[in-house]
Amino acid sequence: MILSQKVHLSFNDFANDLYGMDPSSGMPLSTTFKDPKFYPNWTMTLPVVMQQELTMRIDDAAFNGDYLSLYDSPVVFVNNELAKIYGLPSAAVDGFRKVTLDAGSTRLGLLGSAAMLAANGLPQRTSPTLRGRFVAEQLLCKTVPPPPDNVNLTALDMLPPGSSVRAVLEAHRKNPACAACHQLMDPIGLGLENFDSVGAYRSMENGAAVDATGDLDGVPFKDEASLSTALRNHPNAAACFVTKLYEHAQGRVPLGVDAPVLASLSKQFGDKGHRANQLLVDIVSSDAYRFVEIATK
């Protein structure tokens, strides 16, 4: 079963939904817009190749080893158009190719992918809040409450010279009504500020040097690369992925009765080297998947 191409396609559908690339998600890559006045390198074909690269990354991680390597791997898949975004040389013959970034690269893994960065960016600027929310909810299974109806973000669109999104968000979090939610998102997303809303690297923002330092639940990071390493090693990263795949397979949100099953699957996932293809087998062969439990009074 696991060797069937249908399994690869099915897993890709799951990943597109998990990582917000599916048309039914709130901000799919296929409908992402960038203002050409701010991002002249944004083209109609760029989101297509970004999506294709993400698919290739996911398939490589899911069926060729440790799935958590998706979070901090230096391996990318690029054609000439995407290579420009990643600061890589063009090839004489265009086409997708597997490239390993240089040691010490500031771009690693899923968080450094153009697809994730662009899908969670806005038309005229980055959004540390959206990027941080993606990590918190989709990769660490945290619950982030929705924003209040009267939230005002216009200050972020009119930054004074020399100011930064970081400074504005830090001031925003001083409001107790905003702090609880934004504390779950902003510090993570600010670690990705070295990348603009298209996913290209930058060292300056609005005339000021980018500060991408922070910490992920107590683990400090200095940039996207070290944030990605902290994410891979986060105690919730593996269990969250197991929960998301189990939820997809069952077609429902896990219930309290599923806790022992999820704990067992998480242990198996770790013991077997975080192999996503093996996790698929473990899920569909489990009693929780194969049988329906009859509720009793």
Domain ranges of the chain: 5-233, 237-290
pLDDT in tens, 24-46: 555 567 778 999 999 999 999 99
- What's the pLDDT band for 146 if we cut at 50, 70, 90? confident
Strand partners, 214: 221
Whether the Cβ atoms of residue 225 and residue 107 lie closer than 8 Å to each other: yes
Query: What is the share, in percent, of the chain residues with pLDDT greater than 70?
Result: 88
Q: Residue 260, exposed/middle/buried by CB under 10 A (0-12, 13-18, 19+)?
A: exposed
The rounded Cα 153 to chain-centroid distance in angstroms is 23
Range of weakest confidence among 4-13, 65-74, 174-183, 214-223: 174-183
Q: Is the pLDDT of residue 294 over 70?
A: no
Strand partners, 195: 201
Name, of 153-157, 207-211, 232-236, the range with top average pLDDT.
232-236
Helical segments of 190-295, H only = 224-233, 237-250, 259-271, 276-284, 287-290
Q: Is the pLDDT of residue 161 over 70?
A: no
- What's the pLDDT band for 2 if we cut at 50, 70, 90? low
Q: What is the pTM of this model?
A: 0.90
Task: Please give the Cα distance from 81 to 62 (Å, whole number).
Answer: 25
- What's the pLDDT band for 160 if we cut at 50, 70, 90? low
Task: Please give the Cα distance from 217 to 28 (Å, whole number).
Answer: 28
